[in-house]
Amino acid sequence: MKSALTIAGFDPSGGAGIQADLKVFHSYGVYGLSVVSALTAQNSGGVRSVMPVSDHFVRRQLTVLLDDMKPDATKTGMLYSEAVVDAVAHVVKRYSLENFVIDPVILSSTGKHLAEKGVPDAIRKKLLPLCTVVTPNIYEASVLSGVHIQNMSDMEKAAVRISEYGAGNVIITGGHLDRIAMDVVYDVEFHYLKGRKIPGEFHGTGCAFSAAITALLAKGKGFLEAAELAKGFMKTAFKRSFRAGGVMKLFDL
């Protein structure tokens, strides 16, 4: 059985972070490993507070785990501090982790900051040159690239800019644009993943999409095929979503 590792925050509501990643890995028949990078107090109304996990303990979790088991793919989610980004980058290089996916979690859907001020710059300098793919949403891509994204052309400019920081491949998810749900994929050429924009507020979509890509890479799929299959996974997950609290939760397959 293939395995995948998630380095992310803990979500008590089960809709995002480590819990969501592990559910997606399981749905693909991939054994899930996890390292906690932050604790949150949240419910369907949003994130109320964050308790960071120290960089020393994040590094300790990773080294103890990886001395025993090496995943076929790894993804990051919420990395709250620059020090934690540094720790993750060090471990990725030390253990030569392959199929490395970055979901650059910066801001919650309700506007709560999920990363310290210097984290985007640390991600650009330390993690992007190591990754197989980075999967920012519109806001995250704007922060990472410095491009104010308002339309598809801006998404393309931002994708190129992010790739120039060393990212192997870039997928900017377009669900936050008005009237359209088109993801821009850049791997020296542009590709587009079309989807119907579904009304309503959904929890954990970025986590689920990046986790699906991670699981597919772990199973040996190429990057572009993994991206296309992950888009199909999300389409089905939206159809099977249900209301829990005040938002819709994606149902794993």
For the segment 204-218, what is each residue's pLDDT rounded down to a tens digit? 788 999 999 999 999
Per DSSP (E only), the strands in 44-158 are 46-52, 73-76, 100-102, 133-134
Contact 140, 171 (CB under 8 A): no
Instruction: Report the pLDDT value the prediction gives residue 27, as an integer from 0 to 100.
Output: 93
Residue 209: give the domain boundaries: 3-249
- 164's CB contacts (< 8 A; 6+ apart) are none
Please indicate whether residue 203 or residue 236 has the higher confidence score (pLDDT): 236
What does the alpha-carbon distance between residue 243 and residue 203 come to, in Å, rounded to a whole number?
Answer: 10
Instruction: Report the pLDDT value the prediction gives residue 176, as an integer from 0 to 100.
Output: 58
Measure the N-to-C terminal CA separation of the chain; round to a whole number of Å.
Answer: 18
- 126's CB contacts (< 8 A; 6+ apart) are 85, 86, 88, 89
- 39's CB contacts (< 8 A; 6+ apart) are 9, 10, 50, 51, 52, 53
Please state the rounded mean pLDDT for residues 6-33.
93
Instruction: Report the pLDDT value the prediction gives residue 130, as an integer from 0 to 100.
Output: 98
pLDDT tens-digit profile of 92-151? 999 999 999 999 999 876 667 889 999 999 999 999 999 999 999 999 999 999 999 999
What does the alpha-carbon distance between residue 44 and residue 35 come to, in Å, rounded to a whole number?
Answer: 23
Domain tally, the chain: 1
With cut-offs at 50, 70 and 90, classify the pLDDT of residue 177: low
The stretches of 67-221 forming alpha helices (DSSP H) are 82-94, 119-122, 138-145, 152-164, 205-218
Instruction: Report the pLDDT value the prediction gives residue 253, as an integer from 0 to 100.
Output: 43
Specify the CATH number for the domain of residue 227. 3.40.1190.20
pLDDT tens-digit profile of 178-201? 666 789 999 999 999 987 666 556
The share of the chain scoring above pLDDT 90, in percent, equals 73
Contact 51, 38 (CB under 8 A): yes
